[in-house]
Amino acid sequence: MVIGIVGAGSWGTALAQTFASNGHKVFLYARRREHREELEVTRENKKYLKGVNLIENIVISKSLADTVLDKDIVLMAVPTQTFRSVYEEVSSILLSKDQNPVILNVAKGIEKKSHLLLSDVAKEVRTDSRYAILSGPSHAEEVGRFKPTTVAIASDDIELSKRLQNELMTSRFRIYANDDLKGVELGGALKNIIALGAGISDGIGFGDNARAALMTRGLVEITRIGTAMGAKRETFSGLTGLGDLIVTCDSKHSRNRRCGILIGNGKKVSEAIEEVGMVVEGITTTEATYELASKLNVEMPITETIYSVIEGKINAVEAVDILMGRDGKVE
C-alpha cells in the first residue's frame, strides 16, 4: 500500500517506521520546512524520536498535496485541537482530485470548543469520510524501535477495520479489529486525564496505593461517561480502555504523567507543559470532558478535581484531600 502520514512528531514517525518495515511505501510530512529538511538530510527525527534511523522506503514529503494525493491511506498524526483545520486542508486537496482514501486517525482527545469526538469532526468536514482510528497501549519510543506492541483499529465499518488490520499488522505490531468507534476514541482520550492525576500523585510523593486507586476509580469514570455516550461497556476493559490507561499512568514515556509529576512538584501548569516540550493532550481533554460531563450530568469527581487544579482553583495537595474526603460510597 501507499500511505501518507500527516504529522512527523514522535507517533507519526514511529508508525512510518512500522508500516515501512512491512513493505509499504510511506510518505511522511512535517509542517515546518526546517523540520522536513532536517529529516531529509539526517534521516533521523532528532527532536521527537532521537536515535531511530528512518527506513529507506520512507519518503519525506515536500508538500501536503504530495502526502495525501494518490494514497491508499492518509494517516492523521496531528494534535487533537488542530485536527479540524488540518483535515479541512487535507479534504480540500482530496476533493479537488475527487479522491477519498481511508483516513486513519491516531490523535487522542476531544475537540475543546465543540466537545465532539474526532470521528464526528471528520464527518462534519466531509460527510463521506472513510474514517478509522488506531489506539491502544503504545508509546512511540517503543513502536519506533520495533518493540512488541498491541493496538486496535476501530471503525463503524468492521470490514474496513479488518482490512486495515490485515494490511498493517506486523510480527511486532499486533492489531485487533473493533467496531466500537466511539468507545475506542473515548478510552484513548480520557485515560490522559487519569494519567495527569497519577503523575500529580507521584509528584507529591505518594505511592503505588494512590496511583492504583486513581487508575481503578478513573476507569469507572471513563466507563461511566462512555456508556452514557453510547459506547460499549466491554470496550473499556480492553486494549483501548484498561490497557491504554495502564501504560499511560505507569510509563516513563508518558508525557501526560510527566506533566502531572511536574505539577505535583509545585510547578504551574504552563511551566509543566513548557518543560515537557510536546503536546500534553490531557490538559485540553480534561477541560473538554469537565464541560461535557456537566452537560450530560455524569459524575466524574477525579476529572472535576484535576480540572480545578488546571484552572488554578486548588493546588495538588488540596485535590487529594478533596478526593479522599468524599462521602463513603458502595462499589
Q: Is 267 a catalytic residue?
A: no
Beta bridge partners of 152: 135, 176
Number of Cβ within a 10 Å radius of residue 124: 15
Provide DSSP, 88-147.
Answer: HHHHHHHHHTT---EEEE----B-TTT--BHHHHHHHH-TT-EEEEEESS--HHHHTTT-
Burial class (CB in 10 A: 0-12, 13-18, 19+), 119: buried
Q: Are 311 and 301 in contact (CB under 8 A)?
A: no
Separation between Cα atoms, residue 236 and residue 220, nearest integer Å: 9
Kindly name the residue from 162, 191, 232, 313 that is annotated as catalytic.
191
324-330 long-range contacts, Cβ below 8 Å, gap at least 24? 326/301
Active site amino acids: 191
